[in-house]
Amino acid sequence: MSSITMNNWLPLNLKLQQLRAKLVNDPYYRLQSGEEIQIAAQLGMRIDANQATVDDWLRLPGLSIHQGRSLVELSRSGVKFYCIEDIAAALSMPVQRLEPLKPLITFNYYDDESIATTIQVNPNTATVESLAKIPLIDLSLAAAVVENRLKAGSYRNLVDFQQRLGLSGEAIAQLMYYLRF
């Protein structure tokens, strides 16, 4: 017998129906597997990377509350995410780790051009000279990065780096590809 569709045109599939009930009834339900990601995508679940809340990010397996908060703070400060590579750079993680989440994440300003691989510098260990080699970081900013690090300790993440140095969202959006925490 052929599969029967529900009122919302979804096939009558037990796993799909159970996950739909979880997603509808529990706004904090965290997806548990690649299979659930695929089912959620089939159900139409999408997370807009530039509008997502911490709770939205926490629905995705493998992301911590700290990572969700960082993404939200970066977005609020003016950083625009155009692709999964942007999110990986903002979180200082390999893009391959985020690839399984792609079916659920959408981007308001998607850019088809891929990001070139760049050499990344750890601002917690870098010298003024190595920081000054990064595009957009002049000698005075490089010195401020090192001076702030020596006075206030290591930078926890990209958000901490941005806040402590008073950098704009636009500047961080360009620098995040060169920094690894």
The amino acid that residue 8 corresponds to is: N
pLDDT recorded at residue 118:
59
pLDDT recorded at residue 112:
45
pLDDT recorded at residue 24:
72
Q: Whole-prediction pTM value?
A: 0.59
135, 179 Cβ separation under 8 angstroms: no
148, 165 Cβ separation under 8 angstroms: yes
Mean pLDDT by 10 residues, the chain (181 residues): 36 74 81 88 85 92 95 92 95 95 82 54 91 88 95 94 94 90 87
pLDDT recorded at residue 165:
96
Residue carrying structure tokens 């780790």: 97
Cα–Cα distance for residue pair 73/161, rounded to 1 Å = 12
